[in-house]
Amino acid sequence: DPAAPDALAVVLHFKGFLALAAHRAAHALWGSGDRDVALLLQGRASALFGVDIHPAASVGAGAFLDHATGIVVGEQASLGEGCYVLHGVTLGATGKVRDGRRHPAVGAGVTLGSGASVLGPITVGDGATVGANACVTKDVEAGATVVETGYLNNRVLAPRKKKAS
């Protein structure tokens, strides 16, 4: 984070980092079958940091929660490596199930803008960008950008195709 004066400041004061550290501990507890303690830790971390990541959710290495307030990640959600997540993002369910999943799978290197909601058993491809306040309920192709253009009316900007030489 460019705002961090040094690594110690991140470890001591940056709640996105602290929330992820708590999640990783809760996720390990969940995986080992100690679900009550995992949920207890998750509840305390949620109250302390304002970030609610279910212990069963998968968060890849290098994920970065910037500002972190108001982030919600549901039980079956997955967030790929190197994702950049801004405040107010929700990875949630809609009540629909696809392939046994209720929550979204977000690929590697995805940017989720502030206030974005990615909902249901959908997939957001690697390197995609979901703009601020977009509500996404359909699959997003790798490298595409989704922007909010009105209530539940998103515009998908497909990745540029390379011209044949």
What ranges in the chain are assigned the alpha helix state H?
A: 7-13, 15-31, 35-49
Model pLDDT, residue 13: 75
Lowest mean pLDDT among 40-54, 58-72, 137-151: 137-151
| Domain ranges, ordered by start, for the chain | 51-157
Per-residue pLDDT tens over the stretch 88-99: 999 999 999 999
Whether 159 has a pLDDT exceeding 90, the answer reads: no
Whether 69 has a pLDDT exceeding 80, the answer reads: yes
Tell which residue, 104, 76, 92, 81, has the closest CA to residue 20.
81
Lowest mean pLDDT among 15-19, 37-41, 112-116, 149-153: 149-153
Q: Give me the chain's average pLDDT, please.
A: 91
Tell which residue, 5, 8, 45, has the closest CA to residue 27.
45
Per-residue pLDDT tens over the stretch 113-132: 999 999 999 999 999 999 99
Model pLDDT, residue 160: 62
| CA–CA gap between residue 132 and residue 115 (Å, rounded) | 6
In the sheet that holds 123-124, the strands lie side by side as: 58-59, 78-79, 105-106, 123-124
**What average pLDDT does range 75-97 have in this prediction?**
97
| CA–CA gap between residue 109 and residue 10 (Å, rounded) | 21
Q: Where would I find the beta strands (DSSP E) of the chain?
A: 51-53, 58-59, 64-65, 71-73, 78-79, 84-85, 90-92, 105-106, 111-112, 117-119, 123-124, 129-130, 135-136, 145-148, 154-157
Model pLDDT, residue 107: 98
Residue owning tokens 């290098």: 62
The CATH label, of 3.40.50.970, 1.20.20.10, 2.160.10.10, 3.40.640.10, for the domain at 51-157 is 2.160.10.10
